[in-house]
Amino acid sequence: MNKRVMKHGYKVAESLYNFVEHEVLPGTGIDAENFWQSLADIFTEFTPKNQQLLATRVHFQKQIDAWHLDKNNQPFSQEKYQAFLVDIGYIVAEKEDFSITTTYVDEEVGTVAGPQLVVPLMNARFALNAANARWGSLYDALYGTDVISDDHGAEITKSYNPVRGAKVQAYARQFLDGVIPLTHGSHNDVISYQIAGAKLVVNLQTGEQVSLVEPEKFIAFNGDEQNPSALLFKNHGLHVEIKIDPSMPVAKTDPASVADIILESALSVIQDCEDSISAVDAEDKTAVYRNWLGLMKGDLSETLQKKGKSITRTLNPDRQYKTLDNEALILPGRSLLFVRNVGHLMTNDAVLTQHNEQVPEGILDGLITTLISLHDLKGNSAYKNSRQGSVYIVKPKMHGPDEVAFSNALFTRIEGCLGLATNTIKMGIMDEERRTSVNLKECIRASKERVAFINTGFLDRTGDEIHTSMYAGPMVRKELMKNEAWISAYENRNVRIGLQAGFKGKAQIGKGMWAIPDEMANMVETKIGHPKSGANCAWVPSPTAATLHVLHYHQVNVNHVQDNKLKQFSAETCDSELSALLTIPLLSHATELTANEIQNELDNNIQGLLGYVVRWIDQGTGCSKVPDINNVGRMEDRATLRISSQHICNWLHHGLLTSEQVIASLQKMAQVVDRQNITDSSYEPMATNFDTNIAFNAAMDLIFKGKEQPSGYTEPLLHQRRIEVKALN
């Protein structure tokens, strides 16, 4: 049991208290007693409203459930359905047009389009890697993934495979031809790059000297003009470095001695306190906050074993080049960091009221993560995060404008307590709940002075789609959701509303996660759709994916796309979008499923669900790669768990599945998952005792108690079961 320190009527867990007093506050200029007083005041002031907002969610859901139950067996009227949603206040009236006025936004957010990497903040090794993923090796990203096919002897072998290496070089040169084309010939034919008269001079095998079609794209270099070691280019605001080093093995097979192409990759990173981590108590929360502190003070480090060697990972310094006028050019060495707080639902025992009630975790996150960010704002770190002096907080899982207004008011209050100018905290709004999508314009208005992004979190959004309309009928198969009318309306509408609210040049319009981490060829083929849709950032699961996704932003000029989109919108599109958005993705008679298809869908869902839950509950791993039924590794987090659990629950309720069938699948798939984890010595098999295995029972609850879970969220049950496991150890 955590010891507690009484502070102004609140009982603060000793672990958090000591951390704040001894590690966070020194150097912030904030007086300790004033801080604890502010904490107490903020909880006293904001907790009742937080609770009221949660009660409103329940109230809406009950009315929607009753409407569908009442209408059972009657033909569905979309018109009546929408009128009902307006009537109960679920859809609010859209007011006059407006533009956001957010200021002091860093260029990674406002003006340059590029990948956004998400990382579990609880894992220091990953968190550091993500912060350093601003720059990535294109050669490594290509060599190590399926973007380069392994036919004709090009497979990945134990030692370097020159056949594969040659394919990587060819791919990279083709990329250079697209981004920085030569006035004549190809980067394939280059024997040397030099600088003369503040220009790039390119010598070809043919003996010709050529230059760039757009010479202004060459902006800096390192080394001698005759023998440069690095050449720096800028395209669509993104930097590309050609690294020249004849001593590197790969450069020996390149007449121009190119050793790598280094790409500016993850412009921004979301350090996640939410769905990709498992933080259930004061001890866990303190560990997460400590990593954020290390990032903000610049001293986070982690020693790890890599390829049989011990290495210590720290934050990368900035990068230095010489401009063509021989001035120093310093570029950020690290990604711009956002921190994703938790939403309004959960509470945590890190702080208790005097009646031993847990406080809302989202309020605690807001206060502590901002307090920690003071180290960046006050220049206490050797490394700057926001050059504009802003703090970037992503707020997930908000339902509708009142909840956004609540976060906005909370942030204003936190700024007041910490002596920060109002709107120093920038808010990222996850557009991932149905009531937010439907009322997005009003959600943005509620934070129009600080909003820095709207992101389509389509995974949570799909979970909410299923839960909200649980009683309307059985939903389409999970994989087919992406073809449904609501999802394209949701994605298009998010871009339209963001652009019409003046996001261009000021804030991000973001797209969702690439959740198949090993399918990079597929990603390179398809994720170009995100910049083409007008989004200026999109989520990737790993640094490698960031280096590959950035290729798209070199091909697509998002600024131009946004300008063109703004000219195209019409009033009619807005109306038809709303009814498409509210079209429930129900199975139609035309698409009735065979018993086999139903069983496959169930087994697939259960395999992913169990594979994720067992690691969450037993090992505290919040984001995992779990093989699906076709052995494709899927990124699973709490949002994907929300989808699978709610989907099974929905089919169970509507009689497509029986309880016995679900239990049989759970037991069969538990054995599959146990086998998948056989090489993990810390893994506890589930199939040895289904009755007592806590993770297995958590999975059962997620399905059989799924209908009653608030908004279909998985965190209440996951937390409860993880706390049980932690108590045993």
Q: Which is nearer to ligand ACO, 402 or 637 (CB)?
A: 637
- Minimum CB separation of residue 463 from Mg ion in Å reads 8
Can residue 85 be called a binding residue for ligand LL5AMS7Z (CB under 6 A)? no
Q: Which is nearer to ligand LL5AMS7Z, 282 or 429 (CB)?
A: 429
- Report the partner that residue 266 touches, choosing among ligand ACO, ligand LL5AMS7Z, Mg ion, none (CB closer than 5 to 8 A by kind): none
Q: Would the annotation count 288 as a binding residue? A: no
Q: DSSP E strands: which ranges in 628-689?
A: 633-636
Q: Which is nearer to ligand ACO, 343 or 543 (CB)?
A: 543
Considering CB under 6 A, how many residues would be counted as binding ligand LL5AMS7Z? 10
Q: Which is nearer to ligand ACO, 119 or 438 (CB)?
A: 119
Can residue 360 be called a binding residue for ligand ACO (CB under 6 A)? no
Can residue 546 be called a binding residue for ligand ACO (CB under 6 A)? no
Q: Which is nearer to ligand LL5AMS7Z, 376 or 431 (CB)?
A: 431
**Annotation marks residue 563 as catalytic:** no
Binding to ligand ACO (CB under 6 A) within 255-284 occurs at: 272, 275-276
Can residue 130 be called a binding residue for ligand ACO (CB under 6 A)? yes
Binding to Mg ion (CB under 5 A) within 453-472 occurs at: 457, 460
Amino acid (one-letter) located at 578 = L
CA distances from 289 to 89, 187, 327 (A): 38, 47, 39
Can residue 456 be called a binding residue for ligand ACO (CB under 6 A)? no
Cα angle: 356, vertex 359, 364; to 5 degrees: 140
Residue from 340, 413, 445, 615 carrying the catalytic annotation:
340
Q: Which residues contact 521 (CB under 8 A, 6 or more apart)?
A: 145, 146, 147, 149
Binding mask 419-458 for ligand LL5AMS7Z (x = CB under 6 A): -----------x-x------------------------xx
Task: Indicate which single residue of 230, 513, 561, 581 sits in contact with ligand ACO (rule: CB under 6 A).
Answer: 513
Can residue 715 be called a binding residue for Mg ion (CB under 5 A)? no
- Minimum CB separation of residue 277 from ligand LL5AMS7Z in Å reads 13
- Minimum CB separation of residue 130 from ligand ACO in Å reads 4
Strand, coil or helix: what is 135? Answer: strand
Q: Would the annotation count 434 as a binding residue? A: no
User: What is the rounded CA–CA span in Å between residue 221 and residue 62?
Assistant: 63
Provide φ and ψ at 373, rounded to 5°.
-65, -15
Read off the DSSP letter of residue 212. B
Amino acid (one-letter) located at 282 = A
Q: Which is nearer to ligand LL5AMS7Z, 275 or 402 (CB)?
A: 275
User: What is the rounded CA–CA span in Å between residue 497 and residue 27?
Assistant: 41
User: What is the rounded CA–CA span in Å between residue 315 and residue 302?
Assistant: 10
Phi-psi bin for 231: left (phi > 0), alpha (psi -120 to 50), beta?
A: beta
Can residue 543 be called a binding residue for ligand ACO (CB under 6 A)? yes
Task: Indicate which single residue of 115, 400, 512, 541 sits in contact with ligand LL5AMS7Z (rule: CB under 6 A).
Answer: 512
Long-range contacts of 482-485, Cβ-Cβ distance < 8 Å, separation of 24 or more = 484/583, 484/585, 485/580, 485/583, 485/585
Residue from 260, 518, 637, 701 carrying the catalytic annotation:
637
Q: Which is nearer to ligand LL5AMS7Z, 12 or 122 (CB)?
A: 122
Can residue 460 be called a binding residue for ligand LL5AMS7Z (CB under 6 A)? yes
Q: Would the annotation count 221 as a binding residue? A: no
- Report the partner that residue 250 touches, choosing among ligand ACO, ligand LL5AMS7Z, Mg ion, none (CB closer than 5 to 8 A by kind): none
CB 265 within 8 A of CB 134: yes
DSSP-based helix, strand, coil % in the chain, nearest 5: 45, 20, 35
Residues 201/202/205/208 CA torsion (nearest 10 deg): -50
**Annotation marks residue 340 as catalytic:** yes
**Contacting range for ligand ACO; rule: CB under 6 A; set: 87-95, 368-376, 584-592, 619-627:** 619-627
Cα angle: 66, vertex 67, 72; to 5 degrees: 95
**Dmax over Cα atoms in the chain, in whole Å?**
83
Two tokens at 580?
């498409």
Q: Would the annotation count 432 as a binding residue? A: yes
Can residue 639 be called a binding residue for Mg ion (CB under 5 A)? yes
Q: Would the annotation count 673 as a binding residue? A: no
Binding mask 286-325 for ligand ACO (x = CB under 6 A): --------------------x-------------------
Binding to Mg ion (CB under 5 A) within 400-439 occurs at: 432
Neighbours of 105 (CB within 10 A): 23
* Residue labelled with tokens 């998948």: 676
Q: DSSP E strands: which ranges in 324-469?
A: 328-331, 336-340, 347-353, 358-360, 391-395, 425-431, 451-456
**Contacting range for Mg ion; rule: CB under 5 A; set: 91-99, 101-109, 452-460, 481-489:** 452-460
Q: How far apart are the first and last CA of the chain?
A: 13
Q: Would the annotation count 460 as a binding residue? A: yes
Q: What is the DSSP string of 608-621?
A: HHHHHHHHHHHH--
Can residue 336 be called a binding residue for Mg ion (CB under 5 A)? no
User: What is the rounded CA–CA span in Å between residue 41 and residue 479?
Assistant: 47
User: What is the rounded CA–CA span in Å between residue 622 and residue 718?
Assistant: 10
Instruction: Tell me which H or E stretch contains 704.
Output: helix 694-704
- Minimum CB separation of residue 544 from ligand ACO in Å reads 7
Binding mask 173-202 for ligand LL5AMS7Z (x = CB under 6 A): ------------------------------
Annotated binding site: 118, 125-126, 276, 313, 340, 432, 457-460, 541
Annotated binding site for glyoxylate: 340, 432, 457-460
List, by residue number, the catalytic residues.
Answer: 340, 637
Annotated binding site for Mg(2+): 432, 460
